[in-house]
Amino acid sequence: MKKRILPVVISLTMLAASACNAELPAGLTGETEASSEVTTETEETTETEVTTTEETTSETTEESTSDETTGTASMPDPNGISFEYATTAPVITSETADLLKFDVTRDGLTMSCKMYLPAGEGPFPVVIVGSGIRESCDEYLELAQNFQANGIACVLFDFCGGPEESRFVSNSEGEMLDMTLSSEVKDMNAVLDGVLTLEKTDADNVFLFGHSFGGEVATVVASQREDDINALILMEPAYQMSDIISIFFPPSVQIPDYVTTPFYLGHDFIEEIIDFDIYEYMGGYDDNVILFQGDTGDALGAMFPQYYTWAGDEFPSMRLEVVQGADHVFSGDAGQTMFDLCMEFINENKI
């Protein structure tokens, strides 16, 4: 059910604003080496006070290298996109008292994941974080540590293709221009498969958290994996992406091999997203959803609020939280407000 009602001029104006870098905390920059012409979307984590577990144990490493395929999913799709993928059992690479590192391989591409562990033996409720487009999972470290300090394990990973900014080292294999919506959906599914098998995971209490484009990805995964997750947490999901890209590439315009504006994107990403309808998936997820909307600056909720209103119409059970003073990355006090509400939501939905 495509909802293209924004005037072209308004949409392009909004896009120019949303593609600009957000103001970063001291010591962080928005530089990139992917292309001298690339406009990046800077997506930082929330700024909240962090309490971390100091206790550690000696690092251990497991050498398991099994290539046996343990899961393949072929999922019906209302948009006619194939989400079939193959994955292998996760390989634990190191473990301390507060950090478990493990590798997940999806269709031959490896993602190195990090699970931030609360104090105690576990198993723990787990939040899996889907980052914004081309963003490093390390941007979400503070968010992960906040969950960790509040008794929730948190998993960070880079989607295959890795982050765009040169200040980060990719935690995944794959090429940036091969990244698409469907590839990221497969990535998150494969990470979820791996997390569910770990001894530290309370498999009855697993949550997906998606920010920006990661929110769109998490929405699709939730519709496919309702039995495996308790609830869905969305922070400024980029539901406008399809309509924006289609403005840049109407039927009369040939899609190039890649573009650098509004993001560094390959041909396949553009071709796939143009006619993609995220709203077709929302009705497939019956459990609870909380969507955090910003209202200032580069917040998508300030520029495209109707997309979140439409989401509330489509999700069977969605709670919309408009956080005053929040930008797209919920910096400052808005981040603390978001996190407190997020913890309330998790506690309400734990088994």
> For residue range 87-121, what is the model confidence (pLDDT) as tens digits?
999 999 999 999 999 999 999 999 999 999 999 99
Q: Can you give the pLDDT at residue 166?
A: 66
Q: How confident is the model at residue 124 (pLDDT cuts 50, 70, 90)?
A: very high
Q: Which amino acid belongs to residue 23?
A: E
Residue 72 pLDDT greater than 70, yes or no: no
129-158 residue pLDDT tens: 999 998 999 999 999 999 999 999 999 999
CA–CA separation, 250 vs 266, rounded Å?
16
Q: Can you give the pLDDT at residue 239?
A: 98
Q: Give just the sign of the alpha carbon dihedral 307, 209, 22, 169.
A: negative
Helical pair 241-248 and 267-274, crossing angle rounded to 10 deg: 110
Lowest mean pLDDT among 72-86, 150-164, 176-190: 72-86
CA–CA separation, 71 vs 86, rounded Å?
6
Q: Are 255 and 12 in contact (CB under 8 A)?
A: no
Q: How confident is the model at residue 300 (pLDDT cuts 50, 70, 90)?
A: very high
CA–CA separation, 147 vs 142, rounded Å?
9
pTM: 0.83
316-328 residue pLDDT tens: 999 999 999 999 9
Q: How confident is the model at residue 128 (pLDDT cuts 50, 70, 90)?
A: very high
CA–CA separation, 269 vs 188, rounded Å?
17
How many residues appear in the chain? 351
Q: Which amino acid belongs to residue 101?
A: K
Question: Buried b vs exposed e over 43-81: b needs ≥16 C-beta within 10 Å?
Answer: bbbbbbeeeebeeeeeeeeeeeeeeeeebeeebebebee
Q: Can you give the pLDDT at residue 270?
A: 95
Residue 243 pLDDT greater than 60, yes or no: yes
Q: Can you give the pLDDT at residue 169?
A: 84
Q: Which fold has domain 8-41+62-349?
A: Rossmann fold (3.40.50)
Q: How confident is the model at residue 263 (pLDDT cuts 50, 70, 90)?
A: confident
Mean pLDDT value across the chain: 83
Burial class (CB in 10 A: 0-12, 13-18, 19+), 132: buried
CA–CA separation, 69 vs 210, rounded Å?
27
State the average pLDDT over residues 11-39. Answer: 34
Q: How confident is the model at residue 37 (pLDDT cuts 50, 70, 90)?
A: very low
State the average pLDDT over residues 259-288. Answer: 92
Residue 208 pLDDT greater than 80, yes or no: yes
Residue 331 pLDDT greater than 50, yes or no: yes
Calculate what percentage of the chain has a pLDDT beyond 90.
70
